[in-house]
Amino acid sequence: MNKIMNKIGNSNILFSLMAILAGLLVGGVIMAITGQNPVEGILGLLKGGYLTSYAIASTLTRATPIIFAGLSAALAWGSGYSSMGAQGQMIIGAITAAIVAPRLGFLPPFLAVIITLIFSMTAGALYSLISAHISAKYDAYLLIVTLMFNYLADYLASYLTNYVFLDPVALDKLAIQTIKIEGSILPRIFPRYTTHYGFLIALIAVAATAFIINKTSFGYKARMGGLNAGFAEYGGIDSRKTMYKVLLLSGALAGLGGACEVLGTKFRYVDKMITSPGYSWSGITASLMSNYNIIGVLFSSIFLSGIAIGGSTIELSMNIPSEITQIIQGVITMLVTAKFVIRWHRKENGRKEAETK
């Protein structure tokens, strides 16, 4: 039994595929229980998310913020720093973009977008740095600190949207949103579809992050800290300085994701636009599915996005509740998290065997 668990735990791709199949199986069983045809439902789910041009475009649009959240989580967790702050950093990046972009209308759109993205990345990075400093200075759990900062960012953005930057001429008087951004936006790649240039920026971010992690001394130090913090310290790596750098970059990626969602999809900040769709949690799931592999985050994010888009499609066309997709993602998350339990089990077995010798 231990050999089987070790083999599965060592094969990240196999484990992720097993988790996906298990999630789809559970979704199919629930469809059958509720009187739906599970085969038609699963096929409709896949077709609605991946197999038409409209589905692909919608999937890539939704995948864009998930990719940024996944990169942020993979960078932090893969380096041994349990940050859950991507959601808050995305919110800060998004509200920053919504505030800055309308005030740069006097600049050429391309330049205005670049400046806005830089502001949002800086805001996300600094917000992440604050939580890192609190964790390091007061010896507080980074996971708890960053979780609390998510709520702080959400409430701060809600306050700013409600009382400082609320759109005074909105047609929907009940909508809590900032003024619409005109001109300084990320255009669509294809006019007929919603996929915008934020997806290309996400691809560039994937390539840049992979290069930093795998080809630079900073990436080496970050990976060593994640693999064995004690060994890294013994080797002369300053763990606190490395943590600050890792979380700065992690926050910048999340802030950039929030900005792309504002400039490419909503064209304003709408209250709860980051929290309600669950982008950050999907990003964390994507990073777990890929075992913090940067390229793997890209494909995992697209898969999870397609499942969500397909769920909306079968709800409209087949009257199957879209909550099925949340159950599928929940099963996948549970199983890929179990992978780390298997690794812990393997390490414990190794430790016990060493003690008995």
Q: Are 312 and 48 in contact (CB under 8 A)?
A: yes
**Does residue 139 belong to any structural domain of this protein?**
yes
pLDDT at 336: 83
pLDDT in tens, the chain (357 residues): 455 444 444 557 787 888 889 999 999 999 999 888 999 999 999 999 999 999 999 999 999 999 999 999 999 998 888 899 999 999 999 999 999 999 998 999 999 999 999 999 999 999 999 999 999 899 899 999 999 999 999 999 999 999 999 888 766 656 789 999 998 999 999 989 999 999 999 999 999 999 999 999 888 888 776 666 666 666 677 778 888 999 999 999 999 999 999 999 999 999 999 999 999 999 999 998 898 999 999 999 999 999 999 999 998 888 888 888 889 988 988 888 777 666 656 655 655 565 565
Quickly count: other Cβ atoms within 10 Å of residue 173's Cβ.
6
The answer to whether the predicted template modeling score (pTM) of the entire model surpasses 0.85 is: yes
* Joined tokens for residue 103: 């005030």
* Residues spanned by the domain of 117: 8-350
Largest CA distance in the chain: 76
**Does residue 355 belong to any structural domain of this protein?**
no
* Listed residue (225, 202, 201) closest to 213, CA to CA: 225
First to last CA, the chain: 21
What backbone phi and psi angles, to 5 degrees, belong to 163? -120, -10
**Does residue 356 belong to any structural domain of this protein?**
no
**Does residue 15 belong to any structural domain of this protein?**
yes
* Joined tokens for residue 294: 């940067």
pLDDT at 354: 53
pLDDT at 103: 93
Quickly count: other Cβ atoms within 10 Å of residue 274's Cβ.
33
d(CA 208, CA 281): 23
Q: Are 76 and 249 in contact (CB under 8 A)?
A: no
What backbone phi and psi angles, to 5 degrees, belong to 40? -65, -35
pLDDT at 4: 47
Please report how the helices 294-318 and 197-215 are oriented relative to each other, as an axis angle in degrees rounded to 10.
150
d(CA 73, CA 297): 10
**Does residue 48 belong to any structural domain of this protein?**
yes
Instruction: Give the chain's radius of gyration (CA, Å).
Output: 21
Residue-wise pLDDT for 47-73, tens only, equals 999 999 999 999 999 999 999 999 999
* Joined tokens for residue 194: 């919603």
**Does residue 260 belong to any structural domain of this protein?**
yes
* Joined tokens for residue 202: 């996400």
pLDDT at 1: 46
Three-class SS of residue 357?
coil
What backbone phi and psi angles, to 5 degrees, belong to 276? -60, -45
d(CA 118, CA 70): 20
Count of domains observed in the chain: 1
What backbone phi and psi angles, to 5 degrees, belong to 256? -65, -40
* Joined tokens for residue 151: 């709520």
How far is residue 130 from each of residues 180, 329, 350, measured CA to CA in Å? 30, 31, 39
**Does residue 1 belong to any structural domain of this protein?**
no
**Does residue 357 belong to any structural domain of this protein?**
no
Find the CATH number of the domain harbouring 49.
1.10.3470
